[in-house]
Every structure is written in structure tokens, then in C-alpha cells.
Amino acid sequence: MKKYSFKNDYSEGAHPRILEALMQNNFQQEEGYSNDDFCKKAADAIRKEIKNNFSEIFFVSGGTQANLIVMAAALKPFESVIAANSGHISLHEAGAIEATGHKINIIESDDGKIKATEIEEIVLQHQDDPPHMVVPKLVYISQSTELGTIYSKSEVDEISKTCKKYNLYLYVDGARLGVALTSSKNDLSIEYLLARCDAICIGGAKNGALLGEAIVVNNKEISEYFKNHMKQRGALMGKSRIFGIQFLEFFKDGLYYETAKHANKMAEKLKNGIEKAGFGFLTESYTNQIFPIFPKEMIKTLEENFEFYHWKEVDKENLAIRLVTSWATKEEKVDKFLSYLD
Amino acid sequence: MKKYSFKNDYSEGAHPRILEALMQNNFQQEEGYSNDDFCKKAADAIRKEIKNNFSEIFFVSGGTQANLIVMAAALKPFESVIAANSGHISLHEAGAIEATGHKINIIESDDGKIKATEIEEIVLQHQDDPPHMVVPKLVYISQSTELGTIYSKSEVDEISKTCKKYNLYLYVDGARLGVALTSSKNDLSIEYLLARCDAICIGGAKNGALLGEAIVVNNKEISEYFKNHMKQRGALMGKSRIFGIQFLEFFKDGLYYETAKHANKMAEKLKNGIEKAGFGFLTESYTNQIFPIFPKEMIKTLEENFEFYHWKEVDKENLAIRLVTSWATKEEKVDKFLSYLD
Amino acid sequence: MKKYSFKNDYSEGAHPRILEALMQNNFQQEEGYSNDDFCKKAADAIRKEIKNNFSEIFFVSGGTQANLIVMAAALKPFESVIAANSGHISLHEAGAIEATGHKINIIESDDGKIKATEIEEIVLQHQDDPPHMVVPKLVYISQSTELGTIYSKSEVDEISKTCKKYNLYLYVDGARLGVALTSSKNDLSIEYLLARCDAICIGGAKNGALLGEAIVVNNKEISEYFKNHMKQRGALMGKSRIFGIQFLEFFKDGLYYETAKHANKMAEKLKNGIEKAGFGFLTESYTNQIFPIFPKEMIKTLEENFEFYHWKEVDKENLAIRLVTSWATKEEKVDKFLSYLD
Amino acid sequence: MKKYSFKNDYSEGAHPRILEALMQNNFQQEEGYSNDDFCKKAADAIRKEIKNNFSEIFFVSGGTQANLIVMAAALKPFESVIAANSGHISLHEAGAIEATGHKINIIESDDGKIKATEIEEIVLQHQDDPPHMVVPKLVYISQSTELGTIYSKSEVDEISKTCKKYNLYLYVDGARLGVALTSSKNDLSIEYLLARCDAICIGGAKNGALLGEAIVVNNKEISEYFKNHMKQRGALMGKSRIFGIQFLEFFKDGLYYETAKHANKMAEKLKNGIEKAGFGFLTESYTNQIFPIFPKEMIKTLEENFEFYHWKEVDKENLAIRLVTSWATKEEKVDKFLSYLD
């Protein structure tokens, strides 16, 4: 029998309602390349959700694609991106941004977040010796971050102000936006967040979609030729309907939040249980990724029954692991996991 | 009521068996990024089909992605691709290959096919003035072509020989491979074709998949770091399972050929009917894309009931249109279309 | 003893006045990276020559650099260049433009020139299927062309009008601008030409400079961040003074035209002598590159005393060769060459 | 009257012997694109100097070009470079390496140097999650560094061993190699250094050349198509003779070391005088760049008579400035500078 996996939030297929929607509309003939009715309706639903009639919405199959296309559309060749060292684009996209021609100016971060003051510092440094230096032009933040943390309203305000001051674009990688928005610590509505960024990627795959991400662009400078960039990077899909159907299902009545809430609930249960059992965490996470620190011996025992990633050695005896929950996580498995801690 | 569309072979969702397979395996937990069991089984099924245990199989979400990743993996910066002017990469991919850094050396073609002698001519021309010229290194052909035609066994033999003589890679864009393999005029087995090329893309989306293409690579020089290239170009999907499930369904018992056969059968019926009604064609196609030439007046009438693309003005009175059939084309609609020709 | 070479116009070093100027200013301390006084004065001299106070002038070390930097500065990733198949960027720059990410839309040409109607045709073709197609945005012409021919005033007028109509940039590769401007057939002043193009490269190396090209940009959209692009492509030189000193010498009193005139005069003498001896030419050139057609046997004899390039086989017995003259060509060698034709 | 400048080592033209050599050979006809006799002789002279008959030598006009072409030739798209944050490619080349498609993995450094252990750490980190991460493949070090420091023999040994262990290329940016080799603290011969690296750039412009850098490549994997890469990046010069003539002059009898020695001698005199006057330095430099720390008030006075760059604020009252000497620095100006410190 296979072990139960807490490795990631894309271990299963799709939320049943997503599959049903695909099934139901299967034989309806549609245009391709985002010109289908479903993409249009999904875009409308998202615009309604974020209360912005002027946003443009694009759908792509994956998050790395979303990131690199936004950069390609937003940046001149000599312009760069500011991101945390833990940012997905910095570490886990095999140099996708650099392959698109752009440097990433790294900010070292322990909790996955960057600060307005750090952004400012990089901008000022790069005004030192033009035109010999890249020109920072876009700030990349993840919400929730790769370490499970989230930006608060006031943090976003600060970053947004700094971006405006220095004429920087703000882009939010929302591969895990759902769990951020539904986190017990969140004080930031989707509407508020989107009003402060130039573009955001609303993740589907990690929130119960079969696959697919929605990119919301609020800035004409970025959106104007976005489809040309999508096509050039291999992201304009003939059967765009698949994305349209899924995101319509997500946003027509709040399913997008339901799946995220379940993931958070399961993570919280894990977290509380682990705390109660006397263990600490690497980061303070209130979303679906938690990083408990366990004795190495104990980890071996847990691994006989569960799958998860080792994250970071804390000291000789202890290791932080990553546990990820999702829309599909079974509560009984959470309980079972906790039972091993006693 | 919507008009029936012969615009393309991706107007509908997926073949019901594909959707069922996705449904059935939905809750099985799997690894991501092509390490899932379904991708492994699908790869095995494809290797068995093509009778080559050493081929490596990769799955991506779209055809343009497949093309540009093969180029990225196969070519040094100064190496170029030889392709027909009608080739998908030449005309309809928004400069995706050039954005990856490589020139396409164009061969003008009326029927979508290129000849071994034309390839040789380009190679020799470019030996004239090294290192000032690009070095042609990869030959790109489409099977079936963008104009519905197919390469015969002897044509592939000639091209393959020329590629070997000049140390060129041969890559086949098989976005519509199914209809080529099941064409009434085909004399080329998948096994024979694949034994002669370094890489091929086996199209899913246009043959009844929800989305997804399988890339078969027979040459270690191209396959060695293929996943790194995939990741860098945004094509390594967390939920790779979706591709695995679909291609396993396609190749476990011949579904891939069944869907293609239906498309060809419907195209043939259209073609025969059109011929019988006294009209000619722009190209000699025995696959699912046909290009009948109709009087412009008549086209107006047809457009009241059907959707299709205008392709090319033939003379003042006549226009070639494109009709595309698919796994989902309804025979009654074909009959209805033909009824307008009398 | 070495044979005398008519292979190209960069076989010798620099015009003595150029070397003297470098010598004379050798120990004057200057800023680098185009901020030196010489670059400023040279730019002023060029602006005066072309009667345009608003042009911006940049200096780079080579022509391929000039071409690729103009493209990098002018084009968005999905935008393309229109050029003749014989254009330097199309054939002899090892894919430099594609390495910068841009497709070249080729116009087949026998005489090295392209027509306004051909440009229009390509633009219209590419309006067919956006965003799947590249967007032609810049027209590249060479003056004089790679085949020794030149554009007339009326031809430039037509091309310029078409560019304005379709919102295209016009860029002139003037690697051999000097011999065009001083050609006996020229009816186009530098002022008139420059008023009609967005950017032009004024070639130095082939007109008597040690090395270096001046890029004149008339369009703020292209010039705004030009130095950033130069730096990124490795073209912003610490000792920019070298370019400044040379171009100041060229344009302070007409030396740029003197060197070119000599080259043309020598070519004309060759051409007249060859005609008189009864031989024809591949192209109608009135600049410093001529393409006489000789019997192959005779070419062997000529090659015992001279160096030149074989250009193109005309028929079994005859071959076109290329003879290039320059500011340094010795009249006695021209006479000697002609003496072999009798 | 202009102030005397200690801003950089490329404020003047070229060493008189260099100019004389250019003058003397000016009318000798030569092939272009590195096929001239001077490039061949210069390459032989360099091979003799480094005692390696198998090295291949290429000449380009600038250092950024050299760096980006080496990367283009050495790296696959997903491979990265390891460099210090102060490395020229990291900070002062406007993203040239990223524009060529490659990520730079940064090591923070105070003195411009990186350590073998730091290289190892980055390599190991990136083995964590292939193929999602870039693959570090080339180590970039500067000798002397951008902060005036130099690597010792034992440091190079350690780095070289680590590179071999992890199959990394070692590339040395020797834009200021001359002053490193002739530094009073140097224990590393050019022969020894070159035997340990895959490629090196021997800087000309900062050591008394008009312009030009020699790239020595010891590894066939990098050199095989180097000229194709040079051409594609705009670095293959028609008048390559200029580089050949200069580097032949440099290496035929040790001029390359003479110019560097003078620069070092002048820097040493400055340094000793500054120390004697009671001031300290930001880095421990024994080459031609020194970074004295002066009170801000005093800097104002100095700036009335001299030009130099402010480098870094040390505290509220004090600032480090950069003083650069060269082959052309006049001893009387050094004395005058020191006279202001009393």
C-alpha cells in the first residue's frame, strides 16, 4: 500500500466540480486561443470578484510560464526583477527569467518575504552607475510565499508605495493565492491586493484545478501585447476552453475559496497537533505549508507511513520537514499523522 | 443557434474515454513533474508502440512549447533550423524559435512539404562563408503538413539520408500525426518514421486529448537535459499525471488511431462530396484538413450555416477555404454541408 | 611577394589623417564610455552635416553590433525585421538578429534592394492571424547594398512612405554609406536620407577608419535607452575617444567623402576598363563593389596576380567575381589588373 | 586647465609603441576576421609566453564582449555562472550575461575574491532539486579583482581543484591581468594560472592598448565554435589586424609587463604616501586600484585639483575613494596629489 503523501498540493487530480464542469461542456464547440465563451465568462467572473472592470485576464497552463511571460511583456532587455532569494523564480525555475533575458536582483530573506526598504536599497544602488547597471523595474512577491508566510495589508501598502515612488511594477505570484486569502491571519482582500499590483497570477493547479493559472493584468503597458508574448512562449492554448471552464467554476460561487479553506483547515489541525506535542516550526505559517522541526529519529518513523520533503537541517539532531495540505487532504490522514507524535 | 464549425480540430473538449480516465484516477496521489506512474506507463506504451526501448518520452502542454524546447535542447546558439515557409514554426508561432535564439532557413513550398534536394542546397549555401553564416543543424517537417498533405515513405527516406549525410537532426512536428498515420494514402508506419527521426512530437490536443503533446526523443544529444529545458521554458507541469493518463489511454489499445480515423473518414466524405459536386481543391489532401475552392457567392451561403476559415483567394471569383474535421465531427453535419453544394 | 588584393575595403589600416589625429590627441585625458569630448564634438559635426540638431549619435566598434543593438532597442520580443535575402543581417551575421530574439522576414532580391510594394505585402500577410504571427516593425535596407547598388531618392521616398503608413521604423545599414553618397548615380543627400529614416549606421571601418561605426538615431523611441542596450551587448567602450577622434576627423572638413570618392573612382576605372575589354557584370553598380563576369580560365590567370572573391557561377564557362576598391586602392594596381584583360 | 584624473586606467589613448606599430604596418594588405598575419603572430607570441602550444587565441574589442561570448560558448541554456557580487559581470555589465540567457549565482564578497568552499556550497545547493534549478557550470573570477586585490597561487589551486571536482569551467576575467602579474605580492605566473583555467581574457585597453582584449581558450569544448559565437555577438572584426598588431607588440618583448609595472609603481607610491600621511584603506590592494579613506572635507579639497570616483561611505565623516593609475600616470602628478595630504 502506498504511503499517504503530504509532499505537495498537486498530488491529486482536480476537484470533482471542476471535472464535472469539463464533462458537461465537453461537446460544445468553441473558438480557440482564449476566444472561447468560457474564457470570456471566467474573465468576467474574476473581474467581478476583484471589482475592476478594466483588468485583463489571461489563462496559461503553468506558473513558470505565467512568471516568464509577465517579465517578457513588462521589461525592456536591460531591466531587472527584484525578488527574494526564496522566490520561485529565483531558485526553482531553472533560470527561466534569465533565459528570457532578465537579471533577478536578489534580496536575502528568512521568511520568504521582502521589505519595502530592501526594495528601495536595491533601486538606489542601481542608480549609481547607469548605463552600466541593470535598471530594476519589477518587484516580484509571492502570496502566500514559498515558506507558507503571507504579506499583511500594511506590508503590501509599504511595498506598493515604494513601487509607485520608483516607478516599479508590482507583480504577485499567487500560485498559492487561495490559501493566503483564506488564511486565519489574512487582512488583505483580493480586491485590495489587486488594486495595488500591476499583475497577479491566480494559481489554479495548487488549489484544485486540473491545471491552469489566471493572470490578471491591471496595467495597459503590460497587457497590450500579452497574447503575442503568450504565443511566442508557447502558452496560448488551442483548447483554452479548459482554463475558462475551470476558472468559471472556481469564481462563479466561491469554490476557489472553499478548496483553499479546506487546505488551511487541515494545515492548522496539523500545526496545532504538532505544537501540542511540543514541537516548533521553521517559519510562522498560517497557510497550507508548514515546516515543523522534528528529531531525525522520529522523522524516520514518520516516513514509514507518510511522504513529505526534508527541508532544512536545523541542528545535528533536528530537521525541518515540509508538510503540505490541499483541497484533497483527508482529515483522517491528518489525525493519523498526529497520532505518531505522541 | 450556433453554426456548426469546421474551423479546426480542437473545437470540442476531449474524447469521452479520455475524460473518464481522468475521472477514474482523480484521487490517486502521484508525484509531479513527470515522475508519476501514469507518465511512466504512458511512456512504456509509446515505446512499445514504436518498438524502441531506448526512446525517451516527455509530455508538454502545447505544440509550440514542444517545438521550441526541442530547438533549445538540440541547437547551439549559432545553429539554425530548416523548414518550409508554411511550417507552423515559420509562420504561426509568433517568432517562438527566434525568441529561443535560432534562425529558420526557409524553403518555399506549395504543398507544405520540403525535399531532400532543397535541404541539401541550403546546407551547401551555408558552407560558403563560415563563421559568418548560421550553421543549419535541424530539419523540421510536419506530418501531416499544415496543408493536409503527408510525406511518403520514400520522401522520408530521402530526407533522412540527407540529414545523415550532413549531420543534421530530423525533427517531426506531429501535431496532426494521427491523421497522417491513418490516412488512406499513408505507407509509413509510426515505427518506421520514428526510426528515422531524432525527435517527434505526437500531438494530443488535435486528436482528442484535453490538451498535451508527447515528445519522443531518440537521440541522447537532445534528450540528456531535456527536463532542464522543459522547466526553463515553463513546460514541466506539477500535474504531469494529466498527460500520462491521457497518453496511456491513447496508446493502451489503439484509441489514438481510432479518433484519427474518424477525422479522416469525415474529411474523405466531405472531399468526395465536394468533388462529386464539381469543385476542386488547393492541395491534394488525404487527411483531416481539406482546402476546397468555391465561388465566393457560394461561400457566403455556406457561411450562413457553417463556420470555417477563408484560406486563399484563387482568382477574382473563387476562394479556397479550409475545412477541418476531428474525432468529434458529426456525420450528419458533413451530410448537411454537402447538401448545400447541390 | 604578396598578390595585390581586391578582396575588400578593409584590407589596410586607416587613412593617415585618422592615425595622425589619434596620435596627436593620445595623451589628453578623457572620460570613457562616450562621455569624452571627442565623441561630443564628433556628434556635433555629424549633426551639423545632416542638419538635424535633434539626432542622437552613438559610436560602436562594428557593424554587426550596430545592427543588433538597433534591433534590441527598437523591437519588442514579438516584432520582426523586414530585409532582403542578400542583406548583411540575413546572411552574413551568423544569426545575430535571431540571437537577439527577432525574426527576419525575407524579401528575395536580385540586386540587393527591396521595394515599397514588397514591404507592404509582408505587412499585410502578417495581419492575417495575430497574435500567432510576428509583427513586422522595422525595415532594414543597406545603402550601398551588398551588391554595390544604391537606392535612388524616389525609391527611398516610396519606402519611407510605406513605413509611415504602417508605422514601421526605417533603418539604414550604411556600412558603405560613403560610396553611396559619392556615387556618380546618387541623387540622395545625407540630409535627405537621414530625414527619412529612424536610424542609420554610418560606416567607418570600410571607409578608412581604423575601426568604428557611428549610429545616428532620429527617433526617441529608439534612442532613449540606447546606451543601456550598448552596454548590455558589449558595445560601450571605455576608450570611446577612439571613435570620437576618428569621426571628428571624418566630418570636420569632408574627409569622409574624400576617401569614398577615391574608392568609387578606382572602381569606375576598373569597370570602364572591363566593359571596354568586352565583359559584362552581374549587377549594375556605381559604387566600390563591382561584379564582373569572366571566363573561368581567365580568372585563373588573374588569380596568379590578384586576390578577389569568386561570387557566383553564371554558367559552365563563366563566373562572376567581386572586386572591391577602397580609400587605399592604388591606381597603378587597377591599371595592372586591366592590363591582364587585353 | 583640466584637473588631473585618477578616475581610471583608460583615460589616455595608447602606449606610443602601440601607435607606432599601427602606423608602421598601416598599408600592408591583410585578410580580415582574425585571419590576418598579425593575429596569427600575436597568438603565437601569447602561446609562447604561456608555454602552451594548444591554446587558441581570439581577439575582441571589449571586455564585456569577451565575458558574454565565453559564456555563450561554454554554457547550455540552463547552466549558470558563479561569481562574486562585485564581479564585473554581476554588477557593471547591464545584465549582459542574463541577456545571453544565463543566471549568475552570486557569492557575497568584501574583497572581490571568492573561495573554493563558497563555490562548493553553491554547487551542492543546486543539486537539491534538479531539473528545477540551474546547473552551475562556470566559475568567474577577476584577476586582479574589481577591488584591486589578487588571488594567490594557493587560492587559485583550491578553486581549480574544486572546479575539477565538480566539473566546472574556470574562467578568469583578466581585464587588469597585467597589474596582477606584476604586483609586488604576486606569486602566480601567467603560465601557472593559465594551466589551471579553461579560458582567460588578457586585457589590453586598461594596460595601454588602444582597445582590444585577447581571449585564451584552453578547452576545446569552449573553443570549437568560438568564432561563430564571436560573429553572432558582433565581435568578429573585419580589421582584426588592429588587435593582432597591438598584442604582438605587447608580447614580443615584454611591453605588456612594462606598462603594468609602471601603473603598479605609481599606485604603490600613492599608497605609501597616503599611509605615511596617516590614512587607511578599504581593501588591501597591491595593484593599480587603491581605495584610501579620507575625511569628507579633505576630499573636497582634493577634488579641486584631481578627479577620482567616490567609492563608499565608511562613516559620517569619512569616505573611501578610488584612485586608479595606469601606464600613462605621471609621477609628478602623484607627488602633487600626495602634497595635498600634509
Tens of pLDDT along A295-318?
999 999 999 999 999 999 999 999
Judge whether C32 and C240 are in contact, CB under 8 Å: yes
Say which residues have a Cβ less than 8 Å from residue D300's Cβ, sequence separation at least 6: none
What H or E segment, with its residue span, contains residue B181? helix B177-181
> Per DSSP, what are the bridge partners of residue A292?
A281
Please give the share of chain B, as a percent, with pLDDT higher than 70.
100
Q: Which helix (H) or strand (E) holds A173?
A: strand A169-174
Q: How confident is the model at residue D342 (pLDDT cuts 50, 70, 90)?
A: confident
**Three-class secondary structure of residue C7 per DSSP:** coil
pLDDT tens-digit map of A281-298: 999 999 999 999 999 999
Q: Is the pLDDT of residue D125 over 80?
A: yes
* pLDDT class of B235 with cuts at 50, 70, 90: very high
For an interface test with A, the pick among B91, B92, B97, B239 (most A C-beta atoms closer than 10 Å) comes out as B239
Q: Mind listing the pLDDT tens digit for each residue in A242-252?
A: 999 999 999 99
Residue C202: all three cell numbers together:
554610418
| CA–CA distance, A74 with A184 (Å, rounded to integer) | 33
What is the rounded radius of gyration, in angstroms, for the C-alpha atoms of chain B?
20
What number of C-beta contacts closer than 8 Å exist between A and C? 45
Instruction: Kindly tell me the sign of the dihedral angle through the C-alpha atoms of A257, A258, A260, A265.
Output: positive
What are the backbone angles phi and psi of residue C205, rounded to the nearest 5°? -60, -35
Partners of residue D23 in chain C, C-beta under 8 Å: 19, 23
Output the pLDDT for position A282: 96
Question: Which residue of A10, A82, A90, A103 is the best one to mutate when testing the D interface, meaning the one whose CB has the most D CBs within 10 A?
Answer: A103
Q: Helix or strand or coil: residue D301? A: helix
> What's the distance, CA B299 to chain centroid?
28
Which value, in Å, is the radius of gyration of the alpha carbons in chain A? 20
The Cβ of residue B79 has, within 10 Å, a number of other Cβ atoms equal to 21
Domains and CATH numbers, chain D: 4-10+256-339 (3.90.1150.10), 16-255 (3.40.640.10)
Cell of B308: 470555417
Q: Of B336, B342, B253, give the one whose Cα is nearest residue B4.
A: B336
List CB contacts (< 8 A) between A78 and chain D.
94-95, 99
Confidence bin at D133 (pLDDT 50/70/90): very high
User: Using the 8-state DSSP alphabet, how is residue A3 labeled?
Assistant: P
Q: Which residues does D338 contact at the CB level (< 8 Å), separation at least 6?
A: D269, D270, D273, D274, D277
For B261, other C-beta atoms within 10 Å of its C-beta total 17
Tell me whether the omega of the peptide bond preceding residue C144 falls within 30 degrees of 0, making it cis: yes
Q: Within its chain, how far is the Cα of A1 from the centroid?
A: 32
Characterize the bridge pairing of strands D318-324 and D293-295. antiparallel
Report chain B residues whose CB lies below 8 A from the CB of A30. 11-12
Pick from C331, C276, C282: nearest CA to C309: C282
Residue B237 is nearest to which of A14, A61, A93, comparing CB atoms? A61
- D160: Cα within 13 Å, side-chain hemisphere: 16
Contacts of D106 in chain A (CB under 8 A): 106
The pLDDT score that the predictor gives to residue B1 is 62
Residues of chain D in contact with residue C11, where contact means CB-CB under 8 angstroms, are 29-32
CB-based contact D131 B78, cutoff 8 Å: no
Report the pLDDT value the prediction gives residue C230, as an integer from 0 to 100: 98
Check D98 against A94: CB less than 8 A apart. no
- Please compute Rg for chain C using Cα positions: 20
3-state helix, strand, coil in chain B (%, to 5): 40, 20, 40
At CB < 8 A and 24+ separation, what contacts does B250-257 make?
Answer: B250/B18, B250/B42, B250/B204, B250/B207, B250/B208, B250/B209, B251/B42, B251/B45, B251/B46, B251/B48, B251/B49, B252/B45, B255/B15, B255/B17, B255/B208, B256/B178, B256/B202, B256/B207, B257/B178, B257/B181, B257/B182
Q: Are strands B56-60 and B213-217 parallel, antiparallel or unpaired?
A: antiparallel
Collapse the DSSP code of D203 into the 3-class scheme (helix H, G, I; strand E, B; otherwise coil) and give the result: strand
| pLDDT of the residue at B2 | 83
Write down the pLDDT at residue C211.
Answer: 96
For chain C, list the contacting chains (3+ Cβ pairs, <8 Å).
A, B, D
Residue C25 CA to residue C34 CA, distance in Å, equals: 16
Number of alpha carbons in the 13 Å side-chain half-sphere of residue B45: 20
For residue D2, the 8-state DSSP code is P
Q: Residue B276's pLDDT is what?
A: 97
D313 C-beta neighbours (distance < 10 Å), count: 12
Q: How far apart are CA D89 and CA D146, in angstroms?
A: 11
Q: What value, to the nearest 5°, has the Cα angle with vertex A271 and ends A269 and A274? A: 110
pLDDT of amino acid C38: 98
Note the pLDDT tens digit of each residue in D66-80. 999 999 999 999 999
Q: How many other CB atoms are found less than 10 A from the CB of residue D339? A: 10
* Chains near B (3 or more Cβ pairs under 8 Å): A, C, D
Alpha helices in chain C (DSSP H): 16-24, 37-49, 63-74, 88-91, 96-99, 116-125, 153-165, 177-181, 190-195, 220-223, 226-232, 241-252, 255-276, 296-303, 331-339
**B10 contacts: CB under 8 Å, gap ≥ 6:** A32, A238, A239, B205, B206, B326
Residues of C in contact with B132 (CB under 8 A): 92-94
8 Å CB contact of C101 and B102: no
Q: Which cell is C324 given?
A: 572591391
What are the helix (H) ranges across C50-169? 63-74, 88-91, 96-99, 116-125, 153-165
Digit-coded pLDDT (tens) for C143-172: 999 999 999 999 999 999 999 999 999 999
| Residues of chain C where predicted confidence (pLDDT) is lower than 70 | 1
Q: Does A30 sit within 8 Å of B11, measured CB to CB?
A: yes
Helical (H) or strand (E) element with C52: none
H runs (alpha helix) in D138-254? 153-165, 177-181, 190-195, 220-223, 226-232, 241-252
What CA–CA distances, in Å, run from D37 to B213, D30, D42, D245? 54, 7, 8, 9
CA distance D156 to C248: 46
**DSSP codes joined into one string, A253-312:** SSHHHHHHHHHHHHHHHHHHHHHHTT--BSS---SSEE-BEEEHHHHHHHHTTEE-EEEE
Distance from CA of C73 to the nearest CA of D (A): 13
C-alpha R_g of chain D:
20
Assess contact for B63 and B267: CB atoms under 8 A: no
* Contact: D242, C211; criterion CB under 8 Å: yes
Helix, strand, coil content of chain A in percent (nearest 5)? 40, 20, 40
Give pTM, 2 decimals.
0.97
| Residue B148 confidence (pLDDT) above 80 | yes
Q: Name the pLDDT band for A1 (thresholds 50, 70, 90).
A: low
Nearest chain C residue to B129, by CA? C92
What pLDDT, in 10s, does the model give residues B262-290? 999 999 999 999 999 999 999 999 999 99
**Cα gap C149→D212, rounded to integer Å:** 34
> A236: number of CA atoms within 13 Å, CB side?
23
- The rounded distance, in Å, linking the Cα atoms of A326 and A264 is 8
Residue A74 has pLDDT above 70, yes or no: yes
Chain B residues whose beta carbon lies within 8 Å of the beta carbon of residue C78:
94-95, 99
Cα D148 to Cα D281: distance, rounded to the nearest angstrom: 11
CB contact under 8 A, D95 and C232: yes
Confidence band for B71, pLDDT divided at 50, 70 and 90 = very high
Distance from CA of C259 to the nearest CA of B (A): 27
pLDDT in tens, D274-311: 999 999 999 999 999 999 999 999 999 999 999 999 99
User: Which cell goes with C77?
Assistant: 520580443
A vs D, Cβ pairs < 8 A, gives 55
